[in-house]
Amino acid sequence: MIVNASGGAIGTMDKMAAHRSGTLHRAFSVFIFNSKGQLLLQQRALDKYHSGGLWTNTCCSHPRLGESTSDAAHRRLQEEMGINCELTELFQFSYRHEFENGLIENEYDHVFMGISDELPLPNPDEVGDFRYIDTDLLLFELLEQPNKYTPWFKICLEQVLEMYYKVV
């Protein structure tokens, strides 16, 4: 779904066409915490179209035509990580990043959060690995090794953590 700067739908375009042209489009990111307050990270599969092998939030993707962003977030959480749980939309933000392979992320990203102790069953086509991490250690790793993480994750993590600590 192509969107304007306020996130309003203005048209449709194939996901890869949007990534090749750098057209602003709708996306979502899901952050799942366990009952210990650890964040579930995934390492993107090595053969993903961009950011392969990088660590990021629990899952992310794009809604299908006619699919609500909330429904898409639930669907992809199940497809990528094998988890079903309640999700709450926290906020939206826009970002743009150009990758070395010529693809461009120009996304209006809806950020969701959930809490679950369900054991992930990751889809190997999407996920190379996963881990739970204490947020203090994660923030330290981001300072020490920022190139191991996706661009969008580094942009929105601080705001996610602020909102998480207000909720729990």
The bridge status of strand 55-56 relative to strand 127-133 is: unpaired
What residue has token string 């309003």? Answer: 8
pTM for the model stands at: 0.94
CA dihedral 61, 67, 72, 75 (to 10 degrees): -120
Catalytic residues: 60, 107
For residue 50, the enclosing domain spans 2-167
Tens of each residue's pLDDT in the chain, 168 residues: 999 999 999 989 888 899 889 999 999 999 999 999 999 999 999 887 777 799 999 999 999 999 999 999 999 999 999 999 999 999 999 999 998 888 899 999 999 999 999 999 999 999 999 999 999 999 999 999 999 999 899 999 999 999 998 877
Tokens matching residue 82:
């094998």
Report how many domains make up the chain: 1
Domain CATH for 45:
3.90.79.10
CA 18, 53, 109, 95 dihedral sign is negative
With H, G, I as helix, E, B as strand and everything else as coil, classify residue 58: coil
With H, G, I as helix, E, B as strand and everything else as coil, classify residue 47: coil
